[in-house]
Structure 1
């Protein structure tokens, strides 16, 4: 890769690493915040479910704005909302206020600082034969953020308390600003004409893509990805504590997920350049279900948790470069931010369902068993719906820049 692409990947990687890394530690705030305010797990989980839903709903708009006007203002708004949301979490003494800060503000912030905006830049600047690899590297950066930030967040909570931890994270979010500036400097985006047809053009673009069966199937499969990873990411610490394993085991598990996902995501990007991406996606979803079955079947211990975390981590975000690579193959890169965001909305509906149902079913039954069963069944279904997808250019869509 030439120096400009390397600089682009460094800048985009730093942004995704911080943005994804901070949010992956939110599960550690569940015990101290619910204890401090007397909330149920369902109340805490609902706010994080709303965060994922809002993130997904606003992602197509963030992607479309970045496609049209460039990523600069979108990134700036996302970073400032992220810092403000973390700051306001310290003052969220009721579930409603917590849903406003951790749910609405951080959900909007994530839409401006994660994949659709970053992948839109990569799609414009990276040659097609390197695109899958570059997206894999950017997605792996999010995994590195999880690996690095999860133990830091737990250490801050244990050492200083949850309020100082949030204040430090709020200040840390501002470190995305210089990286955003570097990304904008490397982008090859030419601003489009300013007119009032943005929403209409978004709808027409999405409507054209939706006519393609492969796009609909890809969207359905991505729902399952969100359900599985967010349920595990948020509720695994509480699940382990319920079974007598301490916070150190949970921290180790989430860090291992992040560490192994670095390798898994980069490998997925490399394989996506050589093998059919829909088949790879089907294999990932099926493997996730088998790994969950093995985890639930084996006696629970720090060793089994570590093996589960490493295995599921290897597949954690490996769907991201492959899914976005399929979109680019079918529809080109001119609207990659918008269409990536539209598919990601389905992912986040699944995320909302996974995190919220996890809390609701636990409060109702005293167990996560039903949710684990849903995660297994949905993984098998996602494997089946990805098999018929093809990467050929869509007939109902006029791709540009493919």
Structure 2
């Protein structure tokens, strides 16, 4: 018991650093919806262009995540977080000082996308995963994700308050400063657990793998392919709900302000949900936990769409979705580490996360496209239910046994 407590105390600085970095990075991007009206009404930027810039950062984030993860695998989290924070802050500052179409695409789209890829899950969460033993990995990642959610809940009200008092530019610049302040905390991410007793003789240790070999090994693994396809569903569902739930509630003639309350409830319940999913992933097989998560999420969406709407049902849906919101992240990254080890975890999780972000881009875009064509969000709601069932079917049969590698007799 004492050794277990000492292990967690030793990890505490890295956990706190991960919480603050991810809280700043993810909380900042959660606030972007607040600036659509100021960009449009005060500066004359078309809403469609603003929405495209915000959607673009999701796609850039996904495309650059494998590269950011591979860089962190090779050089550690600290330099990657530092560079990413500079990109992130520059994108926010550019958008604040030059609020026009092309600058928003460059700032909120390209630079923020690059920045968030270096300061969120693929770098920060995997650094936590590498710093702990395999037995503690799922729980540690769940705690880091839960702490990051707390940061999201704090930064959105702060951004709104500064915007109301001093304007949009000041609000974006404050967020940029917060990103820069958290950047040095990346130095705490590269802590490694103290060396334990040698259990396997060096002559029998598995050979070190190159990144190219690891990618080929993962690409040939059926479970990894199913995991990656399932993560696409997660991105699609979350982005669609985050982007279009407010408009859907307006169509359902729900009270004004209920959408903001529902989104806040999602963030609040996500704190406990991320921890819970991490805990479950440490006690039960992670593919099974993921399968049930997608199954329950699909069922919750179906009940919300097809049952009568009320304020209570909306908030209940938000609470259930909050519990399930980002619980996929510690489970997915932990399963990747279990299958292939932690050496190339950043890159391998980054490839999975690319699938997630392609789903996020399409979820945001498809919601608007289908509504423009049909005047209804119902077809996309139904698609999210079907995709949830398909993702569950993909995850339940995943073989989570670590990949066997031949022993070798040394260098």
Relative to the length of structure 1, the TM-score reads 0.89
- Residues 107-186 of structure 1: matches in 2 within 5 Å? 107-184=113-190, 186=191
1:99 aligns with 2:105: yes
Shift of 1:204: 3.4
Q: Deviations over 1:112-147 (max 9, x none)?
A: 101121233223221111111001011112221222
Post-superposition CA distance 1:248-273 (Å, at most 9, x none): 32322222111111111111111111
- 1:348 to partner: Cα distance: 0.6
Q: Are residues 251 and 152 of structure 1, via their aligned partners in 2, closer, same or farther at CA, if it must alter by over 3 Å?
A: farther
Q: 1:244 to 1:35 in 2, by over 3 A?
A: farther
Counterpart pick for 2:402 among 365, 378, 393:
393
Is 1:72 aligned to residue 100 of structure 2?
A: no
The residue number in structure 2 matching 1:54 is 60
Structure 1 residue runs of 4+, over 6 Å off? none
Among 298, 315, 318, the alignment partner of 1:309 is 318
Cα distance in structure 2, aligned partners of 1:207 and 1:281: 24
Distance, in Å, in 2 between the alignment partners of 1:243 and 1:93 is 34
Moved more, 277-286 or 290-299: 290-299
Query: Quick one: structure 1 residues 302 and 29, their matched pair in 2 at CA, closer, same or farther if it must change by over 3 Å?
Result: farther
What RMSD over aligned residues (CA atoms) do the two structures have, in Å? 2.5
* Structure 1: gaps spanning 5 or more residues: 190-199
Deviations 1:177-233 (A, max 9, x none): 23223334x3569xxxxxxxxxx9544321221100000000000000011112212
Computing the radius of gyration from Cα coordinates, the structure with the larger value is: 2
C-alpha separation in 2, matches of 1:102 and 1:35: 18
Match for 1:286 among 292, 295, 300? 295
2:369 is the alignment partner of 1:357: no
Q: Is the 8 A contact 1:147 1:254 kept in 2?
A: no
> Shift of residue 377 of structure 1?
1.5
Residue of structure 2 equivalent to 1:192: none
How many residues are matched?
A: 388
Alpha-carbon distance between aligned partners in 2 of 1:35 and 1:271, rounded to the nearest angstrom: 47
Instruction: Tell me the alpha carbon deviations over residues 142-186 of structure 1, each in whole angstroms, 9 at most, x when there is no partner.
Output: 2212222233333344444433322221222222123223334x3
Partners of 2:230 and 2:101 in 1: how far apart?
Answer: 31
CA deviation string 1:31-74 (max 9, x = no partner):
44344455665433322222111111111111111111111210
Contact 2:20 2:147 in 1 (8 A): yes
**Any idea what the Cα deviations from partners look like across 1:94-118, whole Å, max 9, x if unmatched?**
4443222111111100111011212
Equivalent-residue separation in structure 2 for 1:97 and 1:235 (angstroms):
25
Partner in structure 2 of residue 196 of structure 1: none
After superposition, the Cα gap between the structure-2 partners of 1:267 and 1:151, relative to the gap in structure 1 and judged at 3 Å, is same
CA apart distance, 1:92: 5.3
Rounded to whole Å, the distance in 1 between the matches of 2:171 and 2:313 is 30
* Residue 330 (structure 2) aligns with: 321
Find 1:10's aligned residue among 16, 19, 42: 16
Q: Matches of 1:177 and 1:119 in 2, distance apart?
A: 15
Output the CA distance in 2 between the equivalents of 1:361 and 1:155: 34
Equivalent-residue separation in structure 2 for 1:158 and 1:375 (angstroms): 35
**For the Cα contact (< 8 Å) 2:132–2:193, is it kept in 1?**
no
In structure 2, how many angstroms separate the alpha carbons of the residues matched to 1:49 and 1:354? 10
Distance 1:362 1:201, change over 3 A: farther
